[in-house]
Structure 1
Amino acid sequence: MNLTLSELIRYIVQSLNMALDIGNETSYANSFDVEVTENGFLFIPRLPASYLIDDDLYLRIFKIVNAALFPDYTLLKQNAFYFVPINTADIHVKRGNAR
């Protein structure tokens, strides 16, 4: 998979938009975003959200993105959903879920 960083982000977001199934919550509705880092990617929910942010959501995100990126990238599954701080003044997106 020879994708630029922006193409990779767009591909992950597209995969999540199509398969995540969290009601009408998509990146098109500004409900979440994705950021790719050197060590993986962040799922960044825009809060408050109408969907639960829990381990079930984490597992669904993992399954979707893991399948979409295989065999070019391998995701290591975390034990549970956890937040990391994001350096921004916008309270709605100050946290992300690390992969």
Structure 2
Amino acid sequence: MIGHYAAAFERDQGCTEAEWLAWLPGAVRGHALTLTASGGAARVDIDGGVLDLAWHPLPPRQIALVRLPRLAIGFRFTEVDEDARQRFMRYFDLYMQRGGG
């Protein structure tokens, strides 16, 4: 199904960790966001449930002479109903979209 978001999945994000951390508060759209003290993880409270995020740097993607930073991001929703998860992720992805068409 197009636009369906599973309860747990992983993806690459084309950004640095600093960019990710700068964008994350806006992408969670007012939901409570808690970053771990050790870094590389966060918790988002969503309608009585939780989204756990975990990330780590990947080797840059290289296209000819261009090197693009990448992060591996893990998403794990717990006790977030299907509708709330879909709404949250549609906004999250729209917010995180950069450039392109």
TM-score by length of 2: 0.33
**Relative to total residues, which structure has the larger strand share, 1 or 2?**
2
Larger of the two Rg values belongs to structure = 2
**Relative to total residues, which structure has the larger helix share, 1 or 2?**
1
| Larger RCO of the pair (alpha carbons < 8 Å, separation 6+) | 2
